[in-house]
Amino acid sequence: MKPAPFGHVRASTLDQAVETLVAEDGDAKVLAGGQSLVPLLAMRLAQPTTLVDLGGLRELDYIRDEGDHVEIGAMTRSRAVETSPLVATALPLLPAALRHVGHVTIRNRGTLGGSVAHADPAAEAPSVLRALDAEIIATGPGGRRTIAAADFFQGFLFSALEPDEILTAIRIPRQPAGTVVAVEEFARRHGDFALVAVLGAARLDPSGEIAEVRLSVAGAANTPLRADAAERLLTGQAPTPDVIAAAATAVAEATDPAADIHAPAEYRRHLAAVLTRRCLHRLFAHAERSAA
């Protein structure tokens, strides 16, 4: 299929990009890596009058150590984030999750900001942002504002961004030293979106009890899901098989999956429990090895 006709503005400054969005009054769309938007245009599921192309905005392509958090510019390619030594050290959950996104060619073009703005509940990056309590920075005609990840994802492909706002950066708190991470996904083919993915990060204290655990789930609700009931259940406990099984049940109960052509809702709920169990077993095996 071919897209409907549209105009193309290659923005040379952020101000110009915002001004174009304001002038088009909700009918324009931002183009980042095009890996989600171009298929939508081709299928005519999106028919903007104008594309505001951020490809020339080098100022949105950076990964910066800000001490207690890392700030990543919206136009940073997913592959650059995945292979960054700073991100590997400070935010190990992020590259562990990005490795599951499509294929390398898609991650070479797709941007972190694009994946977050797209707000697909099955995508990995939004789930990392939920697990790590990230913040999203949006710039619009009224200036900059910061939105907590917990408030940003509002529905299927629907976020707190206004039509005249550009997602400019993502700030993610540094993960504490000694944190181990695991990502467990089930996809029908390598490179497909996961039917369900469970992302986890944890630390054990010296006595072997769970000092901190963060869990999120992709593909199991209309937004990325933070499994806070399971986190509460696990914290302060020894990671025994019974505790892990109870946490997996709590995760499944928190899901609200939709049925679609790929899987019935009940199957996704079942997967959430199975993948949570696997994720936690892997996390605590890593944690015990790194403490030894």
> Contact positions toward ligand FAD, by CB under 6 A?
29-37, 54, 74, 101-102, 106, 110-111, 113-115, 117-118, 123-125, 161, 166-167, 191, 193
Q: Which of 247, 256, 170 is nearest to 213 (CA)?
A: 247
Residue pair 176/89 in contact (Cβ under 8 Å)? The answer is no
Q: How far is the CB of 143 from ligand FAD (least distance, A)?
A: 15
Q: How far is the CB of 117 from ligand FAD (least distance, A)?
A: 3
- In three-state secondary structure terms, 120 is coil
Q: How far is the CB of 107 from ligand FAD (least distance, A)?
A: 7
C-beta of 181 vs 287, nearer to ligand FAD: 181
C-beta of 70 vs 195, nearer to ligand FAD: 195
C-beta of 31 vs 204, nearer to ligand FAD: 31
Q: How far is the CB of 175 from ligand FAD (least distance, A)?
A: 20
Q: How far is the CB of 114 from ligand FAD (least distance, A)?
A: 2
> Backbone dihedral region of 246: left (phi > 0), alpha (psi from -120 to 50 degrees) or beta?
alpha
Q: How far is the CB of 67 from ligand FAD (least distance, A)?
A: 24
C-beta of 54 vs 230, nearer to ligand FAD: 54
Taking residue 260's Cβ as centre, other Cβ atoms within 10 Å add up to 10
C-beta of 91 vs 287, nearer to ligand FAD: 91
Q: How far is the CB of 236 from ligand FAD (least distance, A)?
A: 33
Starting at the earlier edge strand, list the strands of the sheet with 143-148. 63-65, 69-73, 166-173, 135-140, 143-148
C-beta of 95 vs 102, nearer to ligand FAD: 102
Instruction: List residues bridging with 184 in a β-sheet.
Output: 198
Q: How far apart are the first and last CA of the chain?
A: 57
C-beta of 17 vs 234, nearer to ligand FAD: 17
Taking residue 279's Cβ as centre, other Cβ atoms within 10 Å add up to 27
Provide Rg for the chain, Cα atoms. 19
Give the side-chain half-sphere CA count within 13 A for 122: 19
CA 203 – CA 218 distance, rounded (Å): 22
